[in-house]
Amino acid sequence: MTSATAAPILEMSGLNKRFGAVRALIDVDFEVSPGEVVALVGDNGAGKSTLIKAISGAQPADEGRIVFDGRPVSVSTPADAVDLGIATVYQDLALCDNLDVVGNLWLGREARNAGVVLDEVTMEHRATELLRQLEVRTLRSVRTPVSSLSGGQRQSVAIARSLLGEPKVVMLDEPTAALGVAQTRQVLDLILRLKEQGLAVIVISHNLADVFEVADRVVVMRLGKRVATFDARAVSRADVVAAITGADLETAAHPEARAAVHDDGDPTDPAGPEGAA
Ligand SMILES: Nc1ncnc2c1ncn2[C@@H]1O[C@H](COP(=O)(O)OP(=O)(O)OP(=O)(O)O)[C@@H](O)[C@H]1O
Ligand SMILES: [Mg+2]
């Protein structure tokens, strides 16, 4: 059963973001429900990371509405997002090599609970518990220094860290980029486990095989716009690729069109028919 029947936990509408003349987000709507995995795909520069950063508060949109758990909210800083229960795992995982797994999990939140500083034993216990819940089996000890972990294990630690705040939405920007086959498997399994636990998951990936492994819905962005949304079980890889490249608009055959669409106020905007739709 799809979670699409559940009411969205996070809904955004009319998101716009400009970087000078570049329109990185153009009237983007986006929504995700509890227990649902949405894959966000699109070519380089399509606006995927910009969308994630608008939700995570790292780089707020210029315009747009965000509704979280049925309430309009404003997310202007990363702390706002974390407080709401929106966790983000960025591609550069920002783990500290010289600390062990426990140290990395608690880094920056130094285990304060209601003002009480937790001791090492409690932190270690919670770290072990969290990784057990996530079924991160390959990790022998939470006292292993992060420098000696594999890429997949590091990604698991980064994901686990994002879960300490007990979020309702988890966003992952390219979690399997640069991972080998077995490590990718491990991260994909982890994503499915988050879904099972009822979290809403947004995952950016350039790897369509990974996308089809985990996603319920596939949202395609192109040149700042959301151009297509597919039920992952009902769409072919070719259709997703066509939406990504804009094969239907022949933008792939006319690379100069890509520049023109970013040219603010160009009346010959090749995305015109779509924009008018
Ligand atoms: N901080 C910034 N300053 C200026 N332009 C930016 C900035 N961040 C993004 N852009 C531009 O906005 C557009 C969307 O970029 P974004 O990083 O969201 O793409 P993406 O879909 O994540 O691409 P990739 O797959 O390469 O990560 C691009 O044209 C990019 O050059
Ligand atoms: Mg990106």
The DSSP secondary structure of 55-68, one letter per residue, reads HHTSS--SEEEEEE
Which pLDDT score, from 0 to 100, does residue 271 have?
43
In a domain, 195, yes or no: yes
Confidence of residue 113 (pLDDT cuts 50, 70, 90): low
Residue 172, domain extent: 3-85+168-276
Inside any domain, residue 232: yes
Cα of 24 vs centre of ligand 1, distance in Å, is 7
Number of domains in the chain: 2
Nearest protein CA to atom 12 of ligand 1, as residue: 24
What CATH number is given to the structural domain containing 34? 3.40.50.300
Residue 228 resides in a domain: yes
CA angle 148, 154, 155 (to 5 degrees): 165
pLDDT band at 117 (very low <50, low <70, confident <90, very high): low
Q: Are residues 185 and 80 in the same domain?
A: yes
Q: Residue 28 CA: which ligand is closest? A: 1
Q: Are residues 50 and 133 in the same domain?
A: no
Strand partners, 219: 40, 229
Together in a domain, 158 and 173: no
Integer Cα distance of 260 and 76 in angstroms: 31
Residue with tokens 């000890």: 141
Same domain, 214 and 109: no
**Does any domain span residue 234?**
yes
Lowest mean pLDDT among 41-45, 186-190, 232-236: 186-190
- From 166, 188, 209, the end of a domain falls on 166
Q: What is the CA angle 208-214-219, rounded to 5? A: 60
**pTM across the whole model:** 0.81
Binding site membership of 24 for ligand 1 (Cβ less than 6 Å): yes
Say yes or no: 173 and 159 in one domain: no
What is the C-alpha end-to-end distance of the chain, expressed in Å?
31
Residue nearest to atom 19 of ligand 1 (CA): 45
Residues 63 and 175 in one domain: yes
In this structure, is the dihedral angle defined by the CA atoms of residues 245, 34, 195 and 191, taken in order, positive or negative?
positive
State the average pLDDT over residues 40-63. Answer: 95
Instruction: Mark whether 101 and 77 lie in a shared domain.
Output: no
| 81 and 36, same domain (yes or no) | yes
Q: Are residues 7 and 62 in the same domain?
A: yes
Residue 90 lies in a domain: no
Q: Could you tell me if the CB of 42 is within 6 A of ligand 1? A: yes
- What mean pLDDT is predicted for residues 86-91? 86
The verdict on 20 and 107 lying in the same domain is no
Q: For residues 137-166, give the mean pLDDT.
A: 80
> How far is residue 253's CA from residue 245's CA, in Å, rounded to a whole number?
10
> Are residues 179 and 162 part of one domain?
no
| The domain boundary residue, chosen from 109, 140, 166 | 166
Which protein residue has the closest C-alpha to ligand 1 atom 3?
Answer: 19
Residue from 22, 26, 28 whose mutation best tests the ligand 1 pocket (most atoms within 8 A of CB): 22
Q: How sure is the predictor about 150, in pLDDT bands with cuts at 50, 70 and 90?
A: confident
| Alpha-carbon distances, residue 173 vs 137, 156, 264 (angstroms) | 23, 13, 28
- Say how many residues make up the chain: 277
Q: Is 47 in the pocket of ligand 1 (CB under 6 A)?
A: yes
| Ligand 1 atom nearest to CA at 50 | 18
- Given ligand 1 and candidates 16, 28, 50, 244, which is best to mutate, with the most ligand atoms within 8 Å of its CB? 50
Which candidate, 164, 146, 211, places its Cα nearest to that of 184?
211
HSE of 154, CA atoms in CB hemisphere, 13 A: 23
Do residues 181 and 260 both lie within one domain?
yes
Ramachandran sector of residue 23 (left: φ over 0; alpha: ψ -120 to 50; beta: rest): beta
